[in-house]
Amino acid sequence: MSELPAPAARSALSRRTALAAALAVPATGLLASHAVAAPDAPPVQSPAARRPRPANAAAPDFGPNVIVFDPSTGGIQAKLDEIFKKQESAQFGTDRYALLFKPGTYGGLNAQIGFYTSIMGLGLSPDDTHFNGDVTVDAGWFNGNATQNFWRSAENLSLSPVSGGNRWAVSQAAPFRRMHVRGDLNLAPNGYGWASGGYIADSRIDGTVQPYSQQQWYTRDSSIGGWLNAVWNMVFSGVEGAPGNTFPDPPYTTLNTTPYSREKPFLYLDGGEYKVFLPALRTNARGTSWGNGTPQGQSLSLSAFYVAKEGDSAATLNAALDQGLHLLLTPGIYHLDRPIEVKKANAVVLGIGYATLIPDGGVTAVKTADVDGIRLAGFLVDAGPQNSRTLVEVGPAGASASHVGNPVTVQDVFIRIGGAGAGKATTSMVVNSRHTIVDHTWVWRADHGEGVGWETNRADYGVVVNGADVLATGLFVEHFNKYDVQWNGERGRTIFYQNEKAYDAPNQAAIQNGSLRGFASYKVADSVNTHEGWGLGSYCYYNVDPTIVQEHGFAAPNKPGVKFHHLLVVSLGGKGQYAHVINAIGAPTSGSDTVPSKVVSFP
């Protein structure tokens, strides 16, 4: 590890540990079973469907929570400050914002980004929209602790930071995509407090990325001038300038390329017309998709989209999809009495400003057909109070079609159970379609907020993968009552995984898994013959009963085709312990020093 300033050199505890320490409030939790066979609950009375009409691409109505700026707009800084003041500490608030900047140069701005706020340039290249200024996330609202800086994003901008370095001190669900920083990028809060991020993709950092106190980070298909240090788990794939593959000391996991990737769709202006760009699939990707001229991909006029707004019903959204329109979900909260059903090949469902879907009556929020090229991106699913069998289903059960040349992509799709209120779901995300790319997700059973308790926001399984040939890049899954990830499909691959086991297990018996003490964080089914993972970490903080022993963080069949590279488990402050890292392999954690136990390779 590179030398850190003294405040950051201390053990980097979890954000929940930090919360408990800061507020002296114990975390809480929940429990359930793996039966996921019940049908969706009958729909409640549906709101009347609006007749979906295509957007006016030259003058779309984005609604009141999308603010569009151009370089001649007056009072930009004042407007940014107004929104930040409302959103800075609104962790479970209901307001949502997307801040869109037309191409051009903007001087003297400091855009501070709070909860449920997305800032985005509207150029085809990040360099089309340039700030002589900063896009900042810090943690003053939480006494310098950045471990709860969730649900915010920056995309498609170029920055020349005023001080030479831009601060982006975030934790989960806060992507930094398609950005060009003409200087350094600091990932720690002022004062080097705790942070638990994070994700960078398709970005260029001319200077040095400075994680300081960040516990873990994943960077994909980017270019960096350098990387300062590592705490527990820093993973790179397809990153020009990445440090060497040196795990366990320092704990860098570096892949020269990403096996395949397709960047997230984005909104942009082409002259006076709004369009959505759909980046092309890349194999063995390395570096940004935009650094060598016009990016490869397809442009769709916004007139091919229905621009959805808060208050639109599932019936309206499905009617738009059924008539062949794509969906742009503007910032807001959408209550669903039935699933959004994405049936057509190459359909796009793109959210901006953390558009939030709440399934009512125990329904599933989103279901896709087993067809090529569907793109789901940029929205949050918040479980409702009546248990949903599933929240997101990628492909129907038994899906078997090959999508190798045109996969389904799931990007910046975040799932939350509890926190904003009581919520339940047996399984949060089920991936049935082959060749799906899950690129950056945070699937979170809440450990703090409202509606939190071992049975109150019960959720047994985070992500269940049944489809073959699925790739996960940037997989964050936390606090589920049983398996956080259960992988049943053949030839699955995961590049970077971050997990915390459920804090709130009341006792050892509550997590017993047959003869095993606890459910693994990441379980590869015994029937699987081929699987591979790089840079995976699991943490425990059993603060309700610190005597709990977790058998292992990872469980997998001992077969030649099942391989893991660079695994670690951590006991946060000695609240519970791991007996092993994977299966019966790896030293136990011990004591209260928050020192990882590591396995370099399995088998």
Residue 411 near residue 377 (C-beta atoms within 8 A): yes
Q: Which residues lie below 8 Å from residue 79, measured CB to CB, with a gap of 6+?
A: 67, 69
Closest CA to 167 of 124, 127, 205, 222: 205
Pairing status of strand 252-255 against strand 273-279: unpaired
CB 466 within 8 A of CB 505: no
Enter the tokens of residue 388.
Answer: 């949903």
**CA–CA gap between residue 379 and residue 68 (Å, rounded):** 20
Instruction: Give the up-direction half-sphere exposure of residue 301: CA atoms within 13 A in the CB hemisphere.
Output: 11
> 271: how many CB neighbours lie within 10 A of its CB?
7
In DSSP terms, which residues pair with 534 in a beta bridge? 495, 565
Sign of CA dihedral 67, 73, 77, 78: negative
**Which residue from 120, 18, 139, 150 is spatially nearest to 476, judged by alpha carbons?**
150
Catalytic residue list contains 3: no
Query: Quick one: which of 165, 276, 178 has its CA closest to 220?
Result: 178
- Distance separating alpha carbons of residues 516 and 9, to the nearest angstrom: 35
Evaluate whether 355 touches 381 at the Cβ level (below 8 Å).
no
Q: Given 88, 155, 500, 551, which residue is catalytic?
A: 500
Torsion angle of the four alpha carbons 33, 37, 42, 47, in this order, in degrees rounded to the nearest 10: 80
Classified as helix, coil or strand, 600 is strand
Is residue 15 within 8 Å of 194, Cβ to Cβ?
A: yes
The token pair that represents 460 in the structure block = 């047994």
* Torsion-angle region of 412 (φ positive above 0: left; ψ -120 to 50: alpha; else: beta): left
Pairwise CA distance, residues 282 & 68, whole Å: 31
Q: Angle at Cα 99 formed by Cα 98 and Cα 105, nearest 5°?
A: 155
Active-site residue list: 500
